[in-house]
Chains A and B, each alone.
Chain A
């Protein structure tokens, strides 16, 4: 990849956007999974 080529900024922007969105999606899924499972565990523990 020649980072000084014509339109290289568009390539950088496309990869950066993909990285941000995919990383954001992964973080969202991980956080939601951890939050809900923690609440469920707390609820079940409190019930006992």
Chain B
């Protein structure tokens, strides 16, 4: 991991990888959306409404994955003092917040026709909403605290403490009685979804993951440039 600690080396690798990641992302989105809107059959109970799953579930997966990346990067920043770890965590937060909002909003659009309500305070929805608040709080820390070192320290702690919410989201449907359905893809005893519906979901899940990877690498590149620019400006003001 230390070999990527050099920002120059990281930028060289990111710049080479980005075009390929974007091409793969576009191809996977095209295949996944074709499967989701054309080949996947309507559900015998939910009818066409089940197609909301193909945008809702990957967004929810990514909201949790991105927060996990932030927590891991924060732990790496504390333990190894890796110079890019804070950059990785900070850059991931706005992307994760958008995925989290998307999961909440599309879930609401799915809930209204299926449950008869836009929103219910059940364990899964509430813990997902808490995740969104954690994202907003994490971003606010970086915006509100001017001294970067202090902001980084507080943000790391928030990311690590907030990580407790990730297993709560995952297992909320098992631990409590919820209106939200239990897990049907990532299960110990295998998926309960038919392959004709499962493959577009998995392809779109991979497409969302690659989209995150591409946006994250670009955001990290921007953040490295922003930090370099700030250091140069400080150095120049010191010379003057």
User: Which chain A residues have a beta carbon within 8 Å of chain B's beta carbons?
Assistant: 1-2, 5-8, 10-11, 13-15, 17-18, 21-22, 24-26, 28-30, 32-33, 36-37, 39-40, 43-44, 47
Contacts and interface: CB of A to CB of B under 8 A. Distances in A.
Most buried by A among B59, B109, B110: B109
B82 interface: no
A26 B48 contact: no
Interface in B224-239: 225-226, 228-229, 232-233, 236
B65 interface: no
Contact of A18 (B37, B42, B59, B221): B59
Contacts of A1: 37-38, 48, 51
* Contact residues of A: prevailing secondary structure: helix
A10 to B, nearest CB: 5
Given A13-B109, A43-B233, A18 B102 contact: yes
Interface of B: 37-38, 42, 47-49, 51-52, 55-56, 59, 94-95, 98, 101-102, 105-106, 109-110, 112-113, 211, 215, 218-219, 221-222, 225-226, 228-229, 232-233, 236
Nearest to A15: B55
* Contact residues of B: prevailing secondary structure: helix
Contact of B49 (A10, A26, A32, A36): A10
B183 to A, nearest CB: 21
A29 B221 CA distance: 10
A33 B95 CA distance: 14
B225 A11 contact: no
A15 B98 CA distance: 15
A33 B110 contact: no
B48 A47 contact: no
B101 to A, nearest CB: 7
Contact of A11 (B52, B94, B221): B52
